[in-house]
Amino acid sequence: MSLTYGTFNGTGADCSGSDGEADRVLTLDNTRITQAGGFMVYASGLALALTTEYTVVHNATGTEVTFLNRMWDDMTIVVNYYHIPTTSSFYETMRDDIQDIIIDNGELLTLIRQDETTASMGDTTSVSTEEYSIWTHIQDITKKDRQIHEMGLAIPGNSKAFFFHEYPNSITGNGIVRVEPGDIIKNVTPEEEDQYWRVEQIIGQRRGNNEEIFRVGIIRNVELNI
């Protein structure tokens, strides 16, 4: 996980205690734990030495710097530090990156999902169809896709597709949706001929620390009348 850079610029007046006292404490406004590596404290332009001129308590919020020597209110203070991004922001950034790649290299297609309502005996009583706009990047299956070959999915008519981990309403226009096996993907070609694929299998839900980043699926070209 990469680190994020932060800095504080202020004066002795930002510290606890009174003008000219020793052991005044500066509380940083960090909301993520600061790191010992790269932590630098300057007073009136001079770098201070850890343990002899200041001490620090690295907190997840409000890291505390104690100035052991006298600190006057008009002295300038600069603190440079690194901190760990929050888990949620880190994985959101990863999702944004892969989604940008899918959008830049893919197409805006239509996902069609059919839901059946069954009676107590298992008979289908009704079928509802929902449509969602989704960005999808489709690739041919190559010899490098060893996992797909080992699973026996590298057959004529099959392709590999990259999907968002989930699509928001702002894209689908019909609520939040995750691509699942059995879904149908529709594309209108420049010749205005409809092309259809069925999602055969989700072969990869790429994760980091159990946070799903994107999905990889095997889709099959099919001839359908929907």
Regarding whether 208 and 143 lie in a shared domain, the answer is yes
Query: What percent of the chain shows pLDDT beyond 90?
Result: 60
pLDDT score, position 226: 44
- 205 pLDDT band, cuts 50/70/90, is confident
Residue 199, pLDDT score: 96
Same domain for 194 and 109: yes
- Same domain? For 116 and 179 the reply is yes
Give the residue from 85, 113, 130 where a domain finishes. Answer: 85
If asked whether residues 101 and 79 sit together in one domain, one would say: no
Task: Provide the β-strand partners of residue 64.
Answer: 27, 57
Q: What pLDDT sits at residue 118?
A: 66
Q: Is the pLDDT of residue 192 over 90?
A: no
Check whether residue 94 and residue 75 sit in a common domain: no
What's the average model confidence in pLDDT over 47-53?
96
The pLDDT tens digits for 136-172 are: 999 999 888 888 888 888 898 899 999 999 999 999 9
Query: Looking at the 3D structure of the chain, how many domains does it have?
Result: 2
Both 53 and 159 in one domain: the answer is: no
Q: Which of 30, 64, 85 is the last residue of a domain?
A: 85
Please check whether residues 120 and 217 belong to one and the same domain.
yes
- Residue 15 pLDDT > 90: yes
Query: Of the residues 19, 52, 85, which one is the last residue of a structural domain?
Result: 85
Same domain, 72 and 93: no
**Residues 22 and 81 placed together within one structural domain of the fold:** yes
Structural domain boundaries enclosing 140: 88-222
Are residues 63 and 106 located together in one domain of the fold? no
Residues 79 and 92 in one domain: no
Same domain for 110 and 62: no
Per-residue pLDDT averaged across 29-57, rounded? 93
What was the pLDDT predicted at 209? 58
Compute the mean pLDDT over every residue in the chain, rounded to the nearest whole number: 87
CATH of the domain at 100: 2.40.10
Percent of the chain exceeding pLDDT 70 equals 86
